[in-house]
Amino acid sequence: MGYQNIIVDKDTITTITINRPSKLNALNKQTIEELHKALKKAEKNDTVKVIIITGSGEKAFVAGADISEFANFSVKEGGKLAAKGQELLFDFIEHLSKPVIAAVNGFALGGGLELAMACHFRIASDNAKMGLPEVSLGVIPGYGGTQRLPQLVGKGRAMEMIMTAGMIDANTAKEYGLVNHVVSLDQLLETTNSIADKIIRNSSVAIAQAINAVNANYEDGVDGYDVEIESFGHCFGTEDFKEGTTAFLEKRKANFPGK
Ligand code: COA
């Protein structure tokens, strides 16, 4: 089945473009489901090593969850919306075993910023604007924003951003540690791809273990050091480890089998 709201450019570095420009790429139910499906496929496909998520057009990455879809929801429906979205998309991305990079090409508001924050890291274009405006609608961030924003920018800044419902520009986001790099819009995908190029030279098996170990730092009741020890040990049983260490000792570039 083809996708209606996303474009998937499948390759070693796969780019997924959210494509509802007339609605500033707002995340409706169908878009969330399509993203889930595409990410699941990319994770299973051995040739895919890195995934980039971006928005179509020059104005928005994603301007939030689609407000028109939930404006009449009940308490129960509201809770379900957040739970389902977190499960299908936001937590799913955070725990994906392959690197997911957000290329933030414009407004990243509400669910859009939450989507960018669920990715493993973020690159922004200099026209990008980021914020969690939910309290201006009488609601709070429901796709992990109250948890991931303080992790990335610190509690005080997160509280201010959430309470004021304001937007910050790309350079402020960089100063806050919310994005790693700021480049011009026409350089955004090139820069993101060049970072992805560096990633794909390394062991994908080790990267999957690293994602798991870093995430463990943010999980309740989990000792990240224990997870690191286990993941570190796991690497010693992989073909990538044999290749990486052998290549170093033989003074040649490693050619990782990804196993
Ligand atoms: N949900 C649904 N539709 C959205 C949307 C969202 N989150 N964000 C934008 N759109 C739609 C608008 O309704 C409009 O559709 P229309 O042309 O059919 O009326 C279209 O996208 C263009 O948006 P518009 O508001 O006309 O663009 P703008 O340049 O004047 O303003 C924003 C841009 C981003 C400031 C403004 O769209 C906005 O505030 N969006 C909502 C952001 C938000 O609160 N997100 C959190 C949701 S929980």
Dist. CA 23 → ligand 1 center (Å): 6
CA distance 11 to 93: 18
20, 23, 90, best to mutate for ligand 1 pocket (most atoms within 8 Å of CB): 23
234 closest CA partner among 253, 256, 199, 259? 259
Instruction: Return the ligand 1 atom nearest residue 68 CA.
Output: 2
Percent above pLDDT 90 for the chain = 100
Which residue, judged by its Cα, is nearest atom 16 of ligand 1?
23
User: pLDDT digits over 1-57, tens only?
Assistant: 699 999 999 999 999 999 999 999 999 999 999 999 999 999 999 999 999 999 999
Please give the mean pLDDT across all residues of the chain.
Answer: 97
Strand order in the sheet with 121-125: 6-9, 13-18, 50-55, 100-104, 121-125, 181-183
Residues tagged active-site: 114, 134
Say what the pLDDT of residue 1 is.
63
- Cβ neighbour number for residue 185 with a 10 Å cutoff: 14
User: Quick check: CB of 109 below 6 Å from ligand 1?
Assistant: yes
CA distance 115 to 64: 9
User: pLDDT digits over 208-225, tens only?
Assistant: 999 999 999 999 999 999
Global confidence as pTM: 0.98
User: Quick check: CB of 114 below 6 Å from ligand 1?
Assistant: no
CA distance 168 to 171: 8
Dist. CA 18 → ligand 1 center (Å): 15
121 closest CA partner among 209, 33, 26, 199? 199
Superfamily the domain 6-200 falls into? 2-enoyl-CoA Hydratase; Chain A, domain 1 (3.90.226.10)
pLDDT band at 129 (very low <50, low <70, confident <90, very high): very high
* Average pLDDT of the residues in 114-121: 98
pLDDT band at 244 (very low <50, low <70, confident <90, very high): very high
